Amino acid sequence: MKSIKSLGAWPVPALASWALCWCLFKAALALLGSPWTALTLATVAGGLLAWPCRVRWRRLMVAGGFPLSALLLFAGQLPPWIWLMPAGLLLLVYPQRSWRDAPLFPTPEGAFAALPAHLPLPARARILDAGSGLGDGLRALQRAYPTADLVGIEWSAPLAWLARLRCPSCRILRGDMWGHSWQDYDLVYVFQRPESMPAVLAKAWAELKPDAWLLSLDFEIPQLTPWHTQKLEGRHSWYLYRRQDLGLQQNCQKPP
User: Would the pTM of this model clear 0.75, i.e. be above it?
Assistant: no
Least confident interval from 27-31, 54-58, 193-197, 241-245:
54-58
Q: Which CATH class is domain 115-248?
A: alpha beta
Q: What does the pLDDT look like over 39-91, one tens digit per residue?
A: 888 888 888 887 776 666 677 778 877 787 777 666 555 565 555 556 555 55
Q: What does the pLDDT look like over 183-240, one tens digit per residue?
A: 999 999 999 888 889 999 999 999 999 999 999 999 999 889 999 999 998 789 999 9
Q: What does the pLDDT look like over 134-160, one tens digit per residue?
A: 899 999 999 999 999 999 999 888 888
Does the pLDDT at position 38 exceed 80? yes
Q: What does the pLDDT look like over 102-129, one tens digit per residue?
A: 556 789 889 999 999 999 999 999 999 9
Mean pLDDT (the chain) is 82
Look up residue 222 and give its DSSP letter. Answer: T
C-beta separation of 222 from 231 below 8 A:
no
Pairing of strands 228-231, 126-130: unpaired
Q: What does the alpha-carbon distance between residue 256 and residue 178 come to, in Å, rounded to a whole number?
A: 7
C-beta separation of 200 from 214 below 8 A:
yes
User: In the β-sheet with 171-174, what is the strand arrangement from edge to edge?
Assistant: 171-174, 149-154, 126-130, 187-190, 213-217, 237-242, 228-231
Domain boundaries, the chain: 4-78, 115-248
Secondary structure E strands in the chain: 126-130, 149-154, 171-174, 187-190, 213-217, 228-231, 237-242
- Nearest Cα neighbor of 139 from 114, 170, 116, 161 is 170
Using DSSP, state whether 227 is helix, strand or coil. coil
